[in-house]
Amino acid sequence: MKTWKHTIRNLAGAVALTLLHGTSIAADPLKMAWVYVGPVGDGGWTYAHDLGRKAAMAKLGDKIQTTIVESVPEGADAERVIRDLATKGNRIVFTTSFGYMEPTLKAAKSFPKAEFYHATGFKSDKNVTIYNSRMYEPAYLAGIIAGHVSKKGVLGFVASFPIPEVVRNINAYTMGARSVNPKITTKVVWVNTWYDPGKERQAAEALIGQGADVLLQNTDSSAVLQTAQDKGVNAFGWDSDMTAYAPKAHLASAIEVWGGYYTKVAEAALAGKPLKTTVWGGMKDGMNDLVSISAALSPEAKKAVAEKMTAIKSGKMMVFTGPIKGQDGSIKLAAGKSLTDKEIDSVNYYVEGVEGQLPK
Amino acid sequence: MSLQLPFRLIPRAQPSQRMLVVAPLLAVVLTLLVGLGIFAALGQNPLTAFRVFFIDPVSDIQGWSELLLKASPLCLIALGLAIGFRANIWNIGAEGQMYLGGIFATGLAIHFHETGGAWLLPAMIIAAAVGGALWAAITAALRAHLRTNEILVSLMLTYVADLLVKYLVYGPWQDPQSNNFPFTIQFGDDALFPLLASWSWLGFDTLLEGTRVNLSILMTLVAVPLAWLFMDRSFIGFQLSVAGLAPPAARYAGFSEKRLVWVALLLSGAAAGLAGVSEVAGPIGQLNDRWTPGYGFTAIIVASLGRLHVVGIVFAALLMALLYLGGEAAQIALQLPKAISQVFQGLLLMFLLGCDVLVNYRVERRRAALPVVQPVAAA
């Protein structure tokens, strides 16, 4: 009998506690969700977004509750996942790959009360806001390092899709290198995927086989960097700090920093005024950076990078400033002028020094 | 010296007919049991995880809509493949034939984007079937007349088809407003399968509000009885079965192998083409370079899981679709890794093959083959 009473009393206590606890959190946490194109363990693009999510969680604690869905294909499945997340009460949904643009727009129409944020796209709507970071800035700085390090004067670039976002990074990397050594050329291999370590590795091997000795990639894994280390050449980390994957080959990492933005979006939504403006941030805004610069670089290289980095971070320097020449040497932009954001976002040509033909 | 296992497999003279039907069900049950163990190992309450994975995805009309949307193309392709598989004609390239279906349908959709009309969608459906069949015809011609291996040819043609899609969406068919991104314009309403929810009769509009399931599932609903009639009730279906079960008998009876190869490949190609149009003119509404999650390959599993039988394939397609949805639900609700749904697919296939072996073979213990050791005589 005694034990029964105990049990009942304990149960009652537990119920009361639960109720009290329930009332003590007056407001339910803001539910936020992320849709990822790769696995969180890709060590690059998706990993960087997840670091951003964790940063927002660390900052806002139990005010937000987050959910992720990884490796979501960019076809008909994406819309279902996005809808499902919105149905499950997520008020904020980040869709973090270009291929989610149409699915996000379609799903958003059915959930007018939720806010959708699409990374790297170009179409927005009442409740669809786009955000991206100017990765061409750290790509330019990486080019400066490559210009100092390359002995053969041939750089390699493992590229995903021939879209402006990637083309401008190839251009910036080449321009950075040619600001140091005007004879440098860049070879490009397209892999037509964001994340496929096998293909990325093959592309890196092909580039090294053609004489490239400093590689950069606009793909999501660390395969290019690791291949560079295996073959005794140098390369960079991309999207996340990849030093640990190949410390000998690693020159620096061009990283995305999403934590600040995700925190801002959450805070604005918590305050009842969701962010609706397109954000295209660069190093100046703390949305990306060049980090873990190798200690083995020559003093001139270190100095050159530091100077340009300060200039970019202070807003004094724009990467795409004339004179910019096309592949055939023709003037694309006169000296003293800078490309507008719209021009940067629709660039469809290689600059001088990039070899091969841009797939059309 | 070859490795000697303590057991060997002896073919059964007469495999149990009942077990042939029970084996897939047994495989499903075994998969679920191991699945419960995996959930527990991942620190989840197995029963909760089971509910999230297998029940929640179909606990509302939204879920059923998504299930049908996913199962429908899988079922369509698998039905086509089963026709050939029964005759040992292995079309592994349904994925590529599906691309061609998508390409042919898209060609019409964007060419008649401005003019359109009620005829456009039916024309796209026919074009898609023709496109898929034409792509399969390459394999058929090579196999029937040059005796090449249809597995390799059809598989390799998938990569060609993939590049063809890429060429089109990066090139002549690219949306001029796309900023060089690889996709076509969004199709007009005339070129899209209407949503079932857009029908007001039978109260579909209120029942299905907000769902994505569209009229394309009708193609599958029509294809199921037709496939049954063809495979199990027509003479050519009989010929295909005989050719698969007993090739010499088929030859002796005078069945033309060439004809069977052509029939099997054209039909499976057409079915895959139809699956293609159901995607591009369905939930996607455009052609882009990454529109398929590999239905053409998954359908091979569906066809084998369904025992190359129409009813089996319908259930297998639904189960496969449920595994996809469950995998997503498990990620969203329990934050389990995505790989879990692939683990389930793999387990299912492994158990099915394992059960198959035991249905067709019996296990016999090997007699000890070691020489008998003679006791050493005491000195």
Query: B31-66 pLDDT, tens per residue?
Result: 989 989 998 998 889 889 889 988 999 998 889 999
Distances (CA, A) of B34 to B38, B46, B55: 6, 11, 17
Pair A265, A305 in one domain: no
- Domain with B123, as residue range(s), is 74-305
Which percentage of chain B shows pLDDT scores above 90? 58
Say if the Cβ atoms of B171 and A360 lie within 8 Å.
yes
- Reported as a single tens digit per residue, the pLDDT across A53-112 is 999 999 999 999 999 999 998 888 999 999 999 988 999 999 999 889 999 999 999 899
Question: CB distance from A71 to chain B under 8 Å?
Answer: yes
Q: Which chain A residue lies closest to B166 (C-alpha atoms)?
A: A192
Confidence of residue B334 (pLDDT cuts 50, 70, 90): confident
User: Is B291's CB within 8 Å of A75's CB?
Assistant: yes
A187 belongs to a structural domain? yes
- Region B217-231 average pLDDT: 96
The answer to whether residue B79 sits within a structural domain is: yes
List b or e across A48-86, with b for residues whose CB sees 16 or more CB atoms inside 10 angstroms.
bbbbbbebbbebbeebbebbbbbbbbbbbbbbbbbbbbb
One domain, residues A171 and A301: yes
Residue B204: band (very low, low, confident or very high) from pLDDT cuts 50, 70, 90: confident
CB contact under 8 A, B290 and A75: yes
pLDDT given at position A20? 44
A158 with A268, same domain: the answer is no
pLDDT recorded at residue B356: 85
In the structure, what pLDDT confidence band is assigned to residue A24 with cuts at 50, 70 and 90?
very low
Mutate which of A35, A69, A70, A80 to test chain B, going by most B C-beta atoms within 10 A? A80
Asked if residue B156 is part of any domain, the answer here is yes
Question: Could A73 and B293 be called an inter-chain contact, meaning their C-beta atoms sit closer than 8 Å?
Answer: yes
> Is the residue at B197 inside a domain?
yes
Residues of A within 8 A of B331 (CB-CB) are 68-70
Q: Which residue of A has its CA nearest to B173?
A: A360
Alpha-carbon distances, residue A85 vs A130, B92, B258, B332 (angstroms): 18, 35, 51, 8
Q: Where are the beta strands (DSSP E) in chain A?
A: 30-35, 64-69, 92-95, 115-119, 128-133, 154-159, 185-190, 214-217, 234-239, 250-256, 279-281, 288-291, 324-325, 331-333
Window from A73-77, A255-259, A310-314, B71-75 with minimum mean pLDDT? A73-77
DSSP-derived secondary structure for A19-44: HHHHHHS-SPPEEEEEE-SS-GGGSS
Give the residue-averaged pLDDT of A17-36: 69
The per-residue pLDDT for B365 is 83
- Could you tell me which residues are beta bridge partners of residue A117? A94, A129
Do the domain assignments include residue B324?
no
pTM equals 0.83
Rounded CA-CA distance B135/B62 in Å is 35
**If you measure CA to CA, which chain B residue comes closest to A109?**
B210
Residue A79: which of B182, B210, B283 has the nearest Cβ? B283
Task: Based on the fold, state whether residues A265 and A219 are members of the same structural domain.
Answer: no
Per-residue model confidence (pLDDT) at position A15: 47
- Reply yes or no: is the peptide bond before residue A323 cis, omega within 30 of 0: yes
pLDDT of residue A19: 45
pLDDT score of B307 = 87
**Which of B62, B183, B328 has the CB atom closest to A69's CB atom?**
B328
Question: A72, A74, A84, A280: best mutation site toward chain B, by most B Cβ within 10 Å?
Answer: A84
pLDDT at A8: 52
Verify that A190 and A292 share a domain, yes or no: yes
Chain B contacts to A (CB-CB under 8 A): 62, 66, 69, 166, 170-171, 179-183, 186, 210, 212, 279, 282-286, 288-293, 324-325, 328-329, 331-333, 335, 337-338
Can you give the residue range of the structural domain that contains A207?
A: 136-255+287-344
- Out of B69, B290, B328, closest to residue A81 by CB: B328
Nearest Cα to Cα of residue A158 among A192, A125, A185: A192
On whether both A93 and A156 belong to a single domain, the answer is no
On whether residue A14 sits in a domain, the answer given is no
pLDDT at A28 over 70: yes
- Please indicate, yes or no, if residue B26 is contained in any of the structural domains: no
Residue A11 has pLDDT above 80, yes or no: no
- Convert the pLDDT of each residue in B76-102 to its tens digit: 999 999 999 999 999 999 999 999 999
DSSP state, B281?
I
DSSP B187: P
Q: How many domains, chain A?
A: 2
The stretch B293-303 carries a mean pLDDT of 92
Looking at the structure, do residues A75 and A34 belong to the same domain, yes or no? Answer: yes
Q: Which residues in chain A are closer than 8 Å to B290, comparing Cβ atoms?
A: 73-75, 99
**Structurally, how many domains does chain B consist of?**
1
pLDDT reported for residue B362 = 87
Q: Based on the domain organization, do A130 and A140 belong to the same domain?
A: no
Query: According to the model, what pLDDT value does residue A21 have?
Result: 46
Residues A209 and A333 in one domain: yes
User: Residue B166: its chain A contacts at CB < 8 A?
Assistant: 192
The answer to whether residue B159 sits within a structural domain is yes
Mean pLDDT for the stretch of residues A259-266: 96
- A264 and A168 within one domain: no
Is the Cβ of A285 closer than 8 Å to some Cβ of chain B?
Answer: no
pLDDT for the residue B379: 44
Nearest CA in chain B to A79: B283
pLDDT > 80? residue A3: no
A63 in any annotated domain: yes
User: Which residue type, as a one-letter code, is found at position B10?
Assistant: I
**Residue A358 within a domain:** no
A87 in the same domain as A57: yes
A338 and A228: one domain?
yes
- Cα distances from B28 to residues A102, B21, B25, B68, in angstroms, run 36, 12, 5, 20
Burial class (CB in 10 A: 0-12, 13-18, 19+), A328: exposed
B150, part of any domain:
yes
CATH number at residue A211: 3.40.50.2300
Instruction: Compare A271 and A42 and report the one with higher pLDDT.
Output: A271
Check pLDDT > 70 for residue A12. Answer: no
Within-domain flag for A248: yes
Q: Which parts of B280-309 fold into alpha helices (H)?
A: 295-305
In a domain? residue A269:
yes
Residue B94 lies in a domain: yes
Mean pLDDT of B130-144: 97
